A and B are shown apart, each in its own frame.
Chain A
């Protein structure tokens, strides 16, 4: 989407939603700045072009390409945020956050607390990931649980252009660090376009379909797998409520618990490997809140517990698919 477009197009994709959100935020607030590898226009606005046009419009002093130096990128974002800026730092791929973990976990997440509230770190860390493009074991992991396990950082992940825009604006507004996870394979899927200045509150899930027999809790690309599953289940006479979590930390316990209290069954779906994943936390809370009221044990559906494989059939089988979700729900309902 051309950031100057005055008439809202009917359709947009996630990549355009993020680009527009950053552009609108930079237009509204000159303390919003961005940095990361290949971010500026001479470097083509990022490897997927998410930030295309921004440096030409706002200047390379505000949209800066960096060396391949993830610790330096997050450190620079933290430092600038301590003195009044709202930096958006891109770590190109989620696996590359591993080389900046000290800056993210020990510093960005903790400086507010360790300083007794004297300083705070209003940064957004954008990062993309996701299986489907054959990038193998080091380019497409979902590591959201690692960050959700750290007090002091919020974790969000959109599944639509509207949510991408609304969550990005909220993440930039937020006075604390927000990890913004983008799913690479669904960047270009068209859907309803966001309105300018639209916000999605952090911590608020989205109930995509009402149902009475089971609650499916998913996020990011798994919404694209779960949506057809809901339709197939309906044909089979099973009424499924689909919740897009949107925020992993702090997740919307109220919406999820309320839904599962109604349906009595829960299937949690994510692309991250199952053990110790977000699904484990959600399942534990459902157990604590609804013990005795569940009609079946909460079920987790996650990635296989192995590095993401390259070979296409293996990669496809790695992450939950529509058929897996249908089968898991049917097994729960029949139990």
Chain B
């Protein structure tokens, strides 16, 4: 890759801030569930912090994303306020979707978070439509569709990548390959890297170390620039690892213990933290203060959420259609 983009110092710190936010939010989510303060289906993004953090610093609030049930990392990186997120996952009326969507359907158009789906493989077809809208308007926006390695085996993947390539849509397909499609390992479900499939659609396909902020930033930067320039879509396969089972409470007995221990030992969040300090980009004090601020924000968001009202029963009749149901 020529002219490989490198994040400047401030961008590196911002990537780290987003990673630290995702990690801290995940740790708090699991704690709050364990303490019995909140009941929700929870799909931990722990281990996958780098991908959306390094991508989203290349996006603006106007750019769109579509993400999936394992999507709090994508949402937070794109700028979803913590209070809106926590109130939503707590099912409160102050949530981003008035508590009617929940953790699998967080939506926040103000920051371009257009769809969060609970259906594997469904971000891609809709992302194409968002991108088609941008193409028609000529507004220069791009759309990022996130999905997992499991979703690469759904028919919608093929239909969507083909259409995006044929129509040259400003969309970036980001496969977060965490090695696990629910309980089944990637090696059992695909004979080739996901990125290799891009060739079949006539678009660039890149497999990248999704736990390396510099690599991830460079690849995302190039794909986003291509999309903005009207040169069409890119398929990125970002290699990462899911630290926990598919859903919270899953005993993850199917995961190879040594492989998992290695992934956790290589935790990308403290690794990047150390890199920033060693390279002099940030100081220990600066990052510690940042992390403390994040914890405080999360404290406030959790308390705000749990103190908020539940939606009234009349909400069952609202938002089904534009007009309220009889």
The answer to whether A103 touches B125, judged by C-beta atoms less than 8 angstroms apart, is: yes
Contact of A114 with B by CB under 8 A? yes
Stretch at the interface among B126-134, B186-194, B276-284: B126-134
Specify the chain A residue showing the minimal Cβ separation from B169.
Answer: A76
Residues from chain A with Cβ under 8 Å of B137 in the complex: 83-84
Is A77's CB under 8 angstroms from B129's CB? yes
Best-buried of A66, A79, A106 by chain B (most CB within 10 Å): A79
Is A78 on the interface with B (CB-CB < 8 A)? yes
When A71-B159, A116-B319 are in contact, do A79 and B133 touch as well, CB less than 8 Å? yes
Q: When the two chains form the complex, which single residue of A67, A75, A117, A152 contacts B126, counting CB atoms closer than 8 Å?
A: A75
Q: A105's closest neighbor in chain B, by CB?
A: B119
Cross-chain contact B108 with A79 (CB below 8 angstroms):
no
How far apart are the CA atoms of A74 and B124 in the complex, in Å? Answer: 11
Q: Smallest CB-CB separation from A177: which chain B residue?
A: B321
Q: Please tell me if the beta carbons of A67 and B166 are within 8 angstroms of each other in the complex.
A: yes
Most chain B beta carbons < 10 A, residue from A71, A152, A154: A71
> Which residues of B lie under 8 Å from residue A175 when comparing CB positions?
321-322
Q: Across the interface, do B321 and A71 meet the contact criterion of CB distance under 8 Å?
A: no
Q: Is B101 an interface residue (CB 8 A)?
A: yes
User: Is A317 in the interface zone, CB < 8 Å from B?
Assistant: no
Q: Are A82 and B130 in contact (CB under 8 A)?
A: yes
- Is A107 a contact of B320 with CB atoms below 8 Å? no
Question: CB-CB < 8 A to B163: which residues of A?
Answer: 66-67, 69, 72, 76
Residues of chain B with a CB closer than 8 A to A72's CB? 125, 128, 156, 159-160, 162-163
In the complex, which residues of chain B have a beta carbon less than 8 angstroms from the beta carbon of A114? 97, 100-101, 105, 107
B99 at the interface (CB under 8 A from A): yes
User: Is there a chain B Cβ closer than 8 Å to A33's Cβ?
Assistant: yes
Q: Mark A68-110, 1 if CB is under 8 A from B, else 0.
A: 0111101111111111110100000000000100110011000
Is B204 interfacial (CB 8 A cutoff)? Answer: no
Kindly state the separation between the CA atoms of A153 and B132 in the bound complex, as whole angstroms: 23
B107 and A118 contacting across the interface, CB-CB below 8 Å? yes
Q: Provided the pairs A72-B163, A103-B125 are in contact, do residues A116 and B97 lie with their beta carbons within 8 angstroms?
A: yes
Query: Cβ of A78 and Cβ of B133 under 8 Å apart?
Result: no
Complex Cα gap A281–B91 (Å) = 33
| Chain A residues closer than 8 Å to B322, beta-carbon distance | 112, 120, 174-176
Chain B positions within 8 Å of A102 at CB level: 119, 122, 156
Q: Is the CB of A83 within 8 A of B160?
A: no
Q: Is A208 an interface residue (CB 8 A)?
A: no
A151 at the interface (CB under 8 A from B): yes
Residues from chain B with Cβ under 8 Å of A11 in the complex: none
**Is A113 in the interface zone, CB < 8 Å from B?**
yes
**A111 lies within 8 A of chain B by Cβ:** yes
What residues of B have a CB within 8 angstroms of the CB of A151 in the complex?
A: 320
Q: Interface digits, B93-123 against A, CB 8 Å rule (1 contact, 0 not)?
A: 0011111110001011100001101110010
In the assembled complex, A119 has its CB within 8 A of some CB on chain B: yes
Total B residues in contact with A, Cβ cutoff 8 Å: 46
Q: Does A61 contact B (CB under 8 A)?
A: yes
Complex contacts, A78 vs chain B, CB 8 Å: 125-126, 129
For residue B246, give the distance in angstroms from its CB to the closest CB of chain A: 19
Q: Which of the residues A75, A80, A119, A152 comes within 8 Å of B320, measured between beta carbons? A: A152
Query: A107 and B117: CB pair below 8 A?
Result: yes
Task: Tell me which residues across on chain B come within 8 A of A311, comparing CB atoms.
Answer: none
A2: interface (CB < 8 Å) = no
Asked if B132 contacts A80 (CB within 8 A), the reply is yes
A172, B130: Cα distance in complex, Å: 19
Interface residues of A in 142-157 (CB under 8 A from B): 151-152, 154
Give A104 to B140 CA distance when docked, in angstroms: 28
**Nearest B residue (CB) for A253:** B326
Say whether A115 faces chain B, with CB atoms less than 8 Å apart. Answer: yes
Could you tell me if B160 and A71 are in contact, using CB atoms closer than 8 angstroms?
yes
B115 touches A107 (CB 8 A): yes
Identify which of B97, B101, B126 gathers the most chain A CB atoms within 10 Å of its CB.
B126
Q: Which of A67, A83, A117 contacts B130 (CB 8 A)?
A: A83
* Interface hub of A70, A72, A87 (most chain B Cβ within 10 A): A72
Per the bound structure, the CA–CA distance linking A112 and B317 in Å amounts to: 12
Specify which chain A residues have a CB less than 8 angstroms from the CB of B100 in the assembled complex: 113-116
**Residues B101 and A82 in contact, CB atoms below 8 Å apart:** no
Knowing A80-B136, A85-B133, the reply to whether A113 touches B125 (Cβ < 8 A) is no
B320 touches A112 (CB 8 A): yes
Which chain B residue lies CB-closest to A33?
Answer: B136
> Are B130 and A119 in contact (CB-based, < 8 A)?
no
Closest to B163 in A: A72
Task: Please pick, from B95, B108, B124, B319, the residue contacting A112 in the complex, using a CB distance under 8 A.
Answer: B319
Task: Give the distance to chain B from A203, nearest Cβ to Cβ, in Å.
Answer: 10
Q: Is A80 in contact with B129, judged by CB distance below 8 angstroms?
A: yes
**A85 CA to B135 CA in the complex, in Å?**
12
Q: Does B4 contact A (CB under 8 A)?
A: no
| Whole-angstrom distance between the Cβ of B56 and the nearest chain A Cβ | 19
* Chain A residues whose CB sits within 8 angstroms of the CB of B36 once the complex forms: none
B129 & A61 in contact (Cβ 8 Å cutoff): no
Q: Which partner residue on chain A sits nearest B134 by CB separation?
A: A83
Q: Is B117 a contact partner of A106 (Cβ separation < 8 A)?
A: yes
Given A82-B114, A106-B119, A117-B319, decide whether A75 and B156 contact each other with a Cβ distance below 8 A: yes
Q: Are B96 and A118 in contact (CB under 8 A)?
A: yes
Question: Bound complex: CA of A62 vs CA of B38, how far in Å?
Answer: 47
B312 within 8 A of A: no
B129–A79 touching, CB < 8 Å: yes
Q: Using A33-B136, A83-B133, A106-B117 as known contacts, list a sample of 4 further A-B pairs with CB atoms less than 8 Å apart, ordered by residue number in A.
A: A77-B129, A79-B125, A112-B321, A114-B105
* 3 A-B pairs closest in CB distance: A79-B129, A75-B125, A116-B98
**Would you mind naming 20 contact pairs between A and B with Cβ atoms under 8 Å apart?**
A69-B162, A72-B128, A75-B127, A75-B156, A76-B129, A78-B129, A79-B125, A79-B133, A80-B130, A81-B129, A82-B109, A82-B126, A83-B130, A84-B137, A106-B117, A106-B118, A111-B107, A115-B107, A116-B96, A174-B322
